[in-house]
Amino acid sequence: MSRTAARRAGVLAYSPRSRELIRRVLRALGHSPLVFTNLDEFLALGPGAATLDLLLLGDVPDTDSQGRDVAACARDLTGSAVPVLRVPMQQQGRSVRQRGMVGDRVPASPRYFSDLYRVILSFLDSLGFDSTPRLLVWERYAFHPTERIVAFNDEELKLDAVDFDIALELFYSAGRPVAASWLTRMLPAGEHGANWHRIDNLACTIDELRVALALDGANGWTLEALPDATYRLANRARQGGQPSFARTPLAAAPKRRGEVPVADLG
């Protein structure tokens, strides 16, 4: 039986992107993340580290500036009873050895939000925690992370990985100016092919998203282009960009566009 209570999850990650994406996934799945930006911050937790329900290591170096094995030091502090998962997001297309941690390998380093969501979802399921995917909902817009689908206006639109992550970042940042440089920073480096083209031509990608998601004010949300390559997703009736969450069955097959109204997805 799945345990549904919120769990205290430690997050140790050195890059802002890794920290923020892991934090968002855990919150979306009903858990309480405690975020640490370096090993010293985590070590300051002291004996409290052993009371964590799980620990996720994002983009951490093998050794820090003091020559310490970051993963091993974190494990020494938590003790063997705390499940640990390493989810580095910078390496592309190769397995990452866990070096004695629970979950011996990550099948491939997650590159995008949906990849990370599925990896963490699988890890939680292996621990017997509640692993029902949840929609991320901003009023009329519902994001389905495992399928990269955005539902709105009684339609469902499947996006590629780059578009989905850009759209999520704009909604999470709703009401605030977001520089194109920040949006690029929140996407994986070293991409190739179509994904690289979408990132390298970010202004065109955002223009296409504005049209595809009808962010023209008709549904309450307006995607504004500001000076100095900056954007703002505005909604006069709403302040802040934190979503609400709605449960959706894991086994449900992806619906086709226009098949399920947003109101029915919760």
Q: Is the pLDDT of residue 264 over 90?
A: no
**Domain span holding position 182:** 134-234
What's the pLDDT band for 100 if we cut at 50, 70, 90?
very low
pLDDT at 107: 45
Amino acid at residue number 23: R
Same domain, yes or no: 160 and 110: no
Q: What's the rounded Cα separation, in Å, for the pair 210 and 100?
A: 46
Same domain, yes or no: 142 and 121: no
**93 vs 125, more confident:** 125
Q: What's the rounded Cα separation, in Å, for the pair 186 and 180?
A: 10
Q: Model-level pTM greater than 0.95?
A: no
Are 121 and 31 a contacting pair, CB within 8 Å?
A: no
pLDDT at 154: 85
In a domain, 261, yes or no: no
Structural domain total, the chain: 2
In a domain, 255, yes or no: no
Same domain, yes or no: 16 and 115: yes
